[in-house]
DNA sequence: ACTCACATGTAACGAGTTACATGATTCC
DNA sequence: GGAATCATGTAACTCGTTACATGTGAGT
């Protein structure tokens, strides 16, 4: 039940059409809640049917024509309710860790390459986040909204820092393993 | 496509019945790939139909009677293939970060309590992992299998360390925020 | 016989993914 | 007017979740 609220947040930040939302989900919000355009259109339909958003007036809704949405008061209320509601953290689910565990049984052949590839990807993501931090959150800027958004970005940076650190450690261990494939 | 491989790994470590698997998923493997008994039974049926596992002989399959499975050579081969195959890391998906972003728009009322609750949960999980580390991976024990399983546990420990650290930081920020709810 | 715990399974639903379809606009 | 692009939308499928159903065996 998070996608509708992700969309409400995005629309409150700025009313948009489906495709614009899709683009924005590819960037900022998508960093921690990704969505495809099919999901977004489906959800926009539901949100409108539920009276939480509406199409901006002065727009005629035809098939191939852009339709922009804005959040209604009921939508803002629902978002506030959801934000404050207590929610269980979802248990971790990571295929790479599963593969490591499987490798303990069927051998590590071929796994090292993918670990290196993942390390590269996480390094790149970390660099991207750090760029954003430098660009969007310079030392002076610290209104309440900035503080909160910076906090979210911090989580991304710390997470990628964790992954790169752990992957480097894992690769060191791999190098020492008897049957491990060499670099 | 990870659940079948999680099951194959578990069955290779030790042939089991559906309910035994469910129990084991609540513990070790479930720490990074959880599954309910319905998922497991459904998947066991598919794996058997695909010829990757079989019920242990000398067991008559009746409705309320336990049925133990073991992995066939084809299953082991499939698991090795999957383990070595290159896979994309799944993008992060975290509702708490989403809620923080939403709070930047609709206000932080009520969120602080849940942050504190999450901090407690992650602290507990971290303590549990550290217990397991002390118990299962004492300094002397370091065969190849131990090294790999220890590596997986390390990931869990480092991840929980990240979360507890970040949540503490977030709560500090919250305390300084103008409209934030007090502790 | 009754109940409870064990063990396996069905059914319905919700969310996410993939592939494809269709209408409008722009540019050559 | 044909092709490419923008924009919205459908359909089918997989995976995970929730609630419930059914059968077995052990204890009292």
Residues of A in contact with B102 (CB under 8 A): 5, 8-9, 79, 82-83
B12/A114 touch (CB, cutoff 8 Å), yes or no: no
A159/B105 touch (CB, cutoff 8 Å), yes or no: no
Say if residues A86 and B113 touch (Cβ distance below 8 Å): yes
Nucleic strand C near CB of residue A39 (< 7 Å): yes
A89/B122 touch (CB, cutoff 8 Å), yes or no: yes
Residues of B in contact with A96 (CB under 8 A): 87, 89
What mean pLDDT do residues B91-117 have?
94
User: How far is the C-alpha of A35 from the C-alpha of A53, rounded, in Å?
Assistant: 19
Closest-CA residue of A relative to B86 is A114
- What does the pLDDT read at residue B183? 43
Q: What letter does residue B90 receive in the DSSP assignment?
A: P
User: How far is the C-alpha of A52 from the C-alpha of A43, rounded, in Å?
Assistant: 11
Q: How confident is the model at residue A183 (pLDDT cuts 50, 70, 90)?
A: very low
Size of interface A-B (CB pairs under 8 A): 210
pTM exceeding the 0.95 threshold for the entire prediction: no
Closest-CA residue of A relative to B181 is A84
Nucleic strand D near CB of residue B41 (< 7 Å): no
| pLDDT of A63 over the 70 cut | no
Nucleic strand C near CB of residue A17 (< 7 Å): no
Through-space distance between the first and last CA atoms of chain A, rounded to whole angstroms: 43
Burial class (CB in 10 A: 0-12, 13-18, 19+), B83: buried
- Give strand letter and number of the nucleotide nearest A6 (CA to C1'): C15
User: How far is the C-alpha of A7 from the C-alpha of A53, rounded, in Å?
Assistant: 10
User: How far is the C-alpha of A151 from the C-alpha of B73, rounded, in Å?
Assistant: 49
Give the model confidence (pLDDT) of A108-162 as tens digits: 999 999 999 999 999 999 999 999 999 999 988 778 888 999 999 999 999 999 9
- What CA–CA distances, in Å, run from B143 to A51, A158, A177, B139, B149? 60, 31, 9, 11, 10
Q: How confident is the model at residue A182 (pLDDT cuts 50, 70, 90)?
A: very low
* B117 Cα to chain A: minimum distance (Å): 9
Burial class (CB in 10 A: 0-12, 13-18, 19+), A60: exposed
What mean pLDDT do residues A75-104 have?
94
Q: Which of the nucleotides in strand C have any atom less than 7 Å away from a protein CB atom?
A: 6-11, 14-20, 22-25
Report the range of poorest mean pLDDT among A176-180, B111-115, B130-134, B157-161: A176-180
Say if residues B22 and B36 touch (Cβ distance below 8 Å): yes
- What does the pLDDT read at residue B58? 54
Q: Tokens 């480092």 correspond to what residue?
A: B158
Q: How confident is the model at residue B37 (pLDDT cuts 50, 70, 90)?
A: very high
- Looking at per-residue pLDDT, the higher value among B1 and B19 belongs to B19
| pLDDT of B182 over the 80 cut | no
Nucleic strand D near CB of residue B145 (< 7 Å): no
Taking alpha carbons only, the member of B64, B78, B60 closest to residue B11 is: B78
Give the model confidence (pLDDT) of A10-45 as tens digits: 999 999 999 999 999 998 899 999 999 999 999 999
User: How far is the C-alpha of A6 from the C-alpha of B25, rounded, in Å?
Assistant: 31
| pLDDT of B166 over the 60 cut | yes
What mean pLDDT do residues B113-122 have?
96
Q: Where are the beta strands (DSSP E) in chain A?
A: 16-17, 53-55, 68-71
């Amino acid at each position: 039940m998070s996608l509708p609220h992700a969309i409400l947040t995005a629309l409150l930040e700025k009313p948009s059409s489906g495709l614009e939302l899709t683009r924005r989900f590819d960037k900022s919000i998508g960093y921690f809640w990704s969505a495809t355009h099919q999901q977004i259109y489906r959800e926009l339909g539901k949100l409108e049917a539920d009276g939480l958003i509406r199409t901006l007036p002065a727009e005629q809704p035809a098939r191939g024509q852009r339709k922009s949405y804005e959040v209604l008061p009921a939508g803002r209320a629902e978002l506030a309710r959801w934000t404050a509601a207590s929610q269980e953290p979802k248990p971790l689910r990571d295929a790479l860790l599963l593969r490591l565990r499987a490798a303990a049984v069927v051998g590590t052949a071929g796994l090292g390459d993918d670990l290196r590839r993942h390390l590269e990807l996480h390094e790149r993501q970390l660099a991207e986040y750090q760029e954003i931090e430098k660009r969007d959150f310079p030392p002076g800027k610290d209104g309440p909204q900035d503080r909160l958004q910076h906090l979210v970005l911090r989580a991304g940076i710390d997470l990628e820092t964790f992954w790169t650190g752990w992957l480097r450690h894992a690769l060191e261990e791999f190098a020492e393993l008897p049957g491990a494939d060499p670099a």
